[in-house]
């Protein structure tokens, strides 16, 4: 019997709700505000909301929370849909809070009719000062005693565009002495003469988040409305509206938002990075956005696995980005085809190999996957190898090339280093070696044991490519928590460009969807900046987590 995974608190609640017959099936929603691109924190919420309805009987809506017309754009709507699909989820319905503006307006009218809402034409400062403080109860503003008829007339006039922005608001009439400031007659409608990306100029009054979210949940019969911890103090208000309006009783549940080390996670901060050109765009491979992670080479599987491992908590915490990278390596190690690429090239000349000969080596595609097969790779007397695989004066435990030393060229021959040449400045320009014809991989009769194996690319066949290597975008573990501006903690060396790396020839046909392992160098993916004559690859992640060690050295 496999061990049962422990249920998280939401799964416990849902199982109990289904067992007691409170619901026959469950409904959740993912409610992004279309004011930016989704990030890995949203992925957490997406995996949670869709994951629950996959696990239990139910469905999940995608609902754009588009009640604030000034920050929302269709570009964001499109990117959000693309990202959710890419993560592997399918929504039952695509809804917009703005589709409910008529119904939400009627609900506001209903509250006015019940004497539970009033138009307040006090100034924002007056409203704030009359609200009191957590320890001092609020006082009524003059508008609070307006008659129902007068409130209805004014609200109608607000809607009709008779007043400028900020002239008046509609407030719920609840309890000015409540210890919860959200219950002290919260504003539920404001005037905003702003074009809306969907409703155009139909409306000049818009409901506040608290007067749109719960109502939208209720309209859609959402059973479990899951949000992050900062909404806990809003819950009494969420429940109050539902109760007063007698609408479908959706319930709000809160979990801790995902925070990740060495990055920032709020759309507002990410927007600053984009606008101030610290990064090339929302999909810069260093960004924690879904589109950035995708361009970097992350797989949906690895992100889902990460979200699953992180689980859900009820207390704020920060997750080490190494866990995300671990999940990525776990997945890529299984699926990534292996290729040879030389990032810092130096020439290796095989002095005894016929200069006009081209041999084809069959190189295995993935030792982790027996079905992955092999591919032909041309071999000649001139090879590119990594500069770091040769040492003029070898250190003690050096198993790679050095004068007199032997090494195996991956899936080819054993070679013995015979010498090297230098330019005037003293830089090594070429390494010379002889190969052992009887040592060919798979048919080796040399009887030699070799400790080191290095990769190579045939010089006349090599494909040139630009390679982009990435480091953490921030030097600080938690830049948002640092004093001062979070941007002061940006790592200015987070992008390193290798203009000319050499790849085995098959990479000319590299597929944009495939993540490759460049053996010994990490995982790489073709970037959208590539053109037919100029391939560009992003390093997705290194093979090992070298960063923790490096950080200790600093
Ligand atoms: P941000 O603070 O990054 O701007 P937001 O909460 O304003 O995010 P929304 O578009 O309102 O972004 O979020 C859509 C959903 O995603 C909400 O239910 C929200 O609670 C959830 N969400 C946002 N950020 C995180 C996070 N870091 N971890 C988990 N869930 C998140
Ligand atoms: Mg928000």
> Residue 261 falls within a domain, yes or no?
no
Query: Among this protein's residues, is 257 annotated catalytic?
Result: yes
CATH number, residue 146: 3.40.50.620
Do residues 56 and 14 touch, judged by C-beta distance below 8 A? yes
Domain closes at, from 455, 479, 514: 455
CATH number, residue 332: 2.40.240.10
User: Does the Cβ of 48 fall within 6 Å of ligand 1?
Assistant: no
Which atom of ligand 1 is closest in space to residue 49's alpha carbon?
A: 18
Q: Using the mean position of ligand 1's atoms as its centre, give its distance from the Cα of residue 46 in Å.
A: 10
Atom 14 (ligand 1): residue with closest C-alpha?
32
Could you tell which of 42, 63, 71, 259 is best to mutate to test the pocket of ligand 1, judged by most ligand atoms within 8 Å of the CB?
Answer: 42
Query: Among this protein's residues, is 11 annotated catalytic?
Result: no
Are 388 and 324 members of one domain? no
Which atom of ligand 1 is closest in space to residue 38's alpha carbon?
A: 10
Domain closes at, from 255, 285, 300: 255
Q: Using the mean position of ligand 1's atoms as its centre, give its distance from the Cα of residue 44 in Å.
A: 9
Ligand nearest to the CA of 268: 1
Are 426 and 292 members of one domain? no
Number of domains in the chain: 3
173 burial class (0-12, 13-18, 19+ CB within 10 angstroms)?
Answer: buried
Residue by residue, pLDDT tens for the chain (554 residues) are 445 678 999 999 999 999 999 999 999 999 999 999 999 999 999 999 999 999 998 999 999 999 988 777 889 999 999 999 999 999 999 999 999 999 999 999 999 999 999 999 999 999 999 999 999 999 999 999 999 999 999 999 999 999 999 999 999 999 999 999 999 999 999 999 999 999 999 999 999 999 999 999 999 999 999 999 999 999 999 999 999 999 999 999 999 999 999 999 999 999 999 999 999 999 999 999 999 999 999 999 999 999 999 999 999 899 999 999 999 999 999 999 999 999 999 999 999 999 999 999 999 999 888 899 999 999 999 999 999 999 999 999 999 999 999 999 999 999 999 999 999 999 999 999 999 999 999 999 999 999 999 999 999 999 999 999 999 999 999 999 999 999 999 999 999 999 999 999 999 999 999 999 999 999 999 999 999 889 999 999 999 986 555 444 44
Which element (helix H / strand E) includes 244? helix 235-245
Are 298 and 345 members of one domain? no
Could you tell which of 30, 41, 254, 303 is best to mutate to test the pocket of ligand 1, judged by most ligand atoms within 8 Å of the CB?
Answer: 41
Are 105 and 184 members of one domain? yes
Ligand nearest to the CA of 258: 1
Are 109 and 242 members of one domain? yes
Domain closes at, from 400, 428, 455: 455
Are 114 and 237 members of one domain? yes
Residue 326: strand, helix, or coil: helix
Instruction: Report the candidate in 106, 67, 66 with the shortest Cα–Cα distance to residue 190.
Output: 67
User: Does the Cβ of 266 fall within 6 Å of ligand 1?
Assistant: yes
Are 355 and 304 members of one domain? no
> Which structural domain range is residue 179 located in?
9-255
Are 179 and 314 members of one domain? no
Q: What angle do CA 215, 50, 318 make, to 5 degrees?
A: 95
User: Does the Cβ of 212 fall within 6 Å of ligand 1?
Assistant: no
Are 496 and 421 members of one domain? no
Do residues 519 and 543 touch, judged by C-beta distance below 8 A? no
User: Does the Cβ of 227 fall within 6 Å of ligand 1?
Assistant: yes
């Amino acid at each position: 019997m496999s061990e049962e995974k422990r249920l998280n608190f939401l799964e416990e609640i849902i199982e109990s709700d289904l067992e007691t017959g409170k619901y026959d099936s469950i409904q959740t929603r993912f409610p992004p505000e279309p004011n930016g691109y989704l990030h890995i924190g949203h992925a957490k919420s997406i995996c949670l909301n869709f994951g629950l309805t996959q696990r239990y009987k139910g469905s999940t809506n995608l609902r754009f929370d588009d009640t604030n017309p000034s920050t929302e754009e269709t570009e964001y709507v499109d990117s959000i849909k693309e990202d959710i699909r890419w993560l592997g989820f399918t929504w039952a319905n695509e809804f917009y809070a703005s589709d409910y503006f008529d119904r939400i307006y009627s609900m506001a009218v209903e509250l006015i009719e019940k004497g539970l809402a009033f138009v307040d034409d006090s100034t924002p400062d007056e409203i704030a000062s009359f609200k009191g403080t957590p320890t001092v109860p609020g006082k009524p503003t003059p508008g609070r005693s307006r008659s129902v008829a007068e409130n209805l007339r004014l609200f109608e006039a607000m809607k009709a565009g008779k007043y400028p922005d900020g002239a008046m608001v509609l407030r719920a009439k609840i309890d000015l002495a409540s210890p919860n400031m959200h219950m002290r007659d919260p504003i539920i409608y404001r005037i905003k003469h702003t074009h809306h990306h969907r409703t155009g100029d139909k409306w000049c009054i818009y409901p506040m988040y608290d007067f749109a979210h719960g109502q939208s949940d209720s309209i859609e019969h959402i059973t479990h409305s899951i949000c992050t911890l900062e909404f806990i103090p809003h819950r009494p208000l969420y429940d109050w509206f539902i109760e007063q309006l007698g609408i479908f009783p959706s319930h709000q549940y809160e979990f801790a938002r995902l925070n990740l080390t060495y990055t920032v996670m709020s759309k507002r901060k990410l927007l600053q990075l984009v606008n101030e050109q610290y990064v090339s765009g929302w999909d810069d491979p260093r960004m924690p956005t879904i589109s950035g992670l995708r361009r970097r080479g992350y797989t949906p599987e690895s992100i889902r696995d990460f979200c699953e491992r992180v689980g859900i908590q009820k207390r704020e915490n920060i997750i080490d980005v190494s866990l995300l990278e671990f999940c990525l390596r776990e997945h890529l190690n299984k699926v990534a085809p292996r290729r040879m690429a030389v990032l810092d090239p130096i020439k290796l000349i095989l002095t005894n190999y016929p200069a006009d000969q081209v041999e084809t080596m069959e190189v295995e595609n993935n030792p982790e996957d027996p079905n992955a097969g092999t591919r032909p790779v041309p071999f000649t007397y001139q090879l590119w190898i990594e500069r770091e695989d040769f040492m003029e004066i070898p250190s003690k435990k050096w198993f790679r090339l050095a004068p007199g030393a032997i090494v195996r060229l991956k899936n080819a021959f054993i070679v013995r280093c015979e010498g090297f040449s230098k330019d005037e400045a003293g830089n090594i320009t070429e390494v010379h070696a002889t190969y052992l014809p009887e040592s060919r991989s798979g048919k080796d009769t040399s009887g030699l044991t070799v400790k080191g194996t290095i990769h190579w690319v045939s010089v006349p066949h090599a494909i040139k490519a630009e390679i982009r290597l990435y480091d953490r975008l921030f030097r600080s573990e938690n830049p948002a928590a640092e004093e001062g501006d979070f941007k002061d903690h940006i790592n200015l060396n987070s992008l390193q460009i290798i203009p000319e790396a050499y790849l085995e020839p098959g990479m000319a046909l590299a597929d944009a969807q495939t993540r490759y392992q460049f053996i010994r160098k990490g995982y790489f993916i073709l970037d959208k900046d590539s053109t037919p004559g100029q391939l560009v690859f992003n390093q997705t992640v290194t093979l090992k987590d070298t960063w923790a060690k490096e950080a200790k050295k600093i």
